[in-house]
């Protein structure tokens, strides 16, 4: 059994506690709408810096601080993890989940475990392991989470809340999302285009876009 299946199936895995917590969750309102409401609740801007935890405010659970916010700055996986925790809490997905399980989810979310698949898929895999599911491109909805990678001289990734695909005529050429990045000085909307789409400056690798949903 590979590591991903172990995360999803093994009762001993801390992440399994998150998946188990989803069994008794109240799935109304729709999870994707709750994710969007949670994402928008953090506001916009606020400064960007690739340092510290990247979360827009302290992430707490069970009376313990999971991540302490850095003053005046965020970055992508910190922002999206804070959105995930807020949405999961509102949906009842954190009932019975202890702080250690949430910390384990955070390490996968940030790609900090050293495992190849976790480092590649990050938030998309963490959402799946926490009782959500992987999403095919054709089924993507606003409020899903996505991990994208760029074809640049020094390859870079980005953790985002998916909003829509960008199209030219009927061809999918990019992705519109909400995240924290330098170009928006913190939290904001952005569209990036696929490498090979014909759009100048398009660098997103269409073979390395991974989606996951709490729905």
Cβ proximity of 47 and 185 under 8 Å: yes
- What pLDDT, on the 0 to 100 scale, is given for residue 29? 53
21 versus 82: which is more confidently predicted?
82
CB atoms within 10 A of CB 200: 6
Residue matched to tokens 């949903």? 213
**Backbone Cα Rg of the chain:** 16
**Sheet (strand 186-193) strand order:** 45-46, 186-193, 171-181, 156-168, 145-150, 204-213, 133-135
If one counts every other C-beta atom within 10 angstroms of the C-beta of residue 2, the result is 7
3-class SS of residue 173: strand
Q: Left (φ > 0), alpha (ψ -120 to 50) or beta: where does 92 sit?
A: left
Q: Is the pLDDT of residue 16 over 60?
A: no
- Extract the tokens encoding 147: 């991990």
What sign has the CA pseudo-torsion 154, 155, 161, 162? Answer: positive
* 36-90: pLDDT as tens digits: 999 999 999 999 999 999 999 999 999 999 999 988 899 999 999 999 999 999 9
Q: What pLDDT score was predicted for residue 23? A: 39
Q: Give the model confidence (pLDDT) of 125-163 as tens digits.
A: 999 888 899 999 999 999 999 999 999 988 899 999 999
Q: Do residues 151 and 157 make contact, with C-beta atoms less than 8 angstroms apart?
A: no
């Amino acid at each position: 059994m590979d590591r991903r299946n172990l995360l999803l199936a093994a009762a001993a895995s801390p992440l399994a506690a998150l998946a188990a917590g989803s069994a008794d969750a109240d799935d109304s309102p729709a999870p994707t709408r709750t994710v969007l409401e949670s994402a928008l609740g953090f506001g916009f801007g606020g400064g960007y810096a690739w340092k510290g935890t990247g979360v827009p405010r302290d992430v707490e659970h069970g009376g313990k601080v999971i991540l302490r916010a850095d003053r005046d700055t965020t970055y992508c996986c910190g922002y999206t993890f804070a959105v995930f925790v807020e949405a999961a809490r509102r949906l009842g997905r954190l009932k019975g989940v202890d702080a250690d399980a949430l910390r384990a989810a955070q390490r996968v979310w940030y790609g900090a475990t050293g495992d190849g698949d976790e480092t590649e898929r990050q938030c998309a895999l963490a959402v799946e392991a926490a009782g959500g599911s992987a999403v095919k491109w054709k089924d993507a909805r606003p409020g899903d989470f996505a991990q994208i990678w760029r074809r640049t001289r020094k390859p870079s990734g980005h953790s985002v809340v998916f909003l829509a695909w960008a199209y030219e005529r009927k061809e999918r050429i990019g992705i519109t999302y909400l995240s924290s990045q330098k170009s928006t000085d913190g939290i904001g909307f952005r569209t990036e285009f696929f490498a090979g789409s014909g759009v100048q400056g398009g660098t997103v690798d269409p073979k390395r876009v991974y989606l996951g949903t709490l729905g």
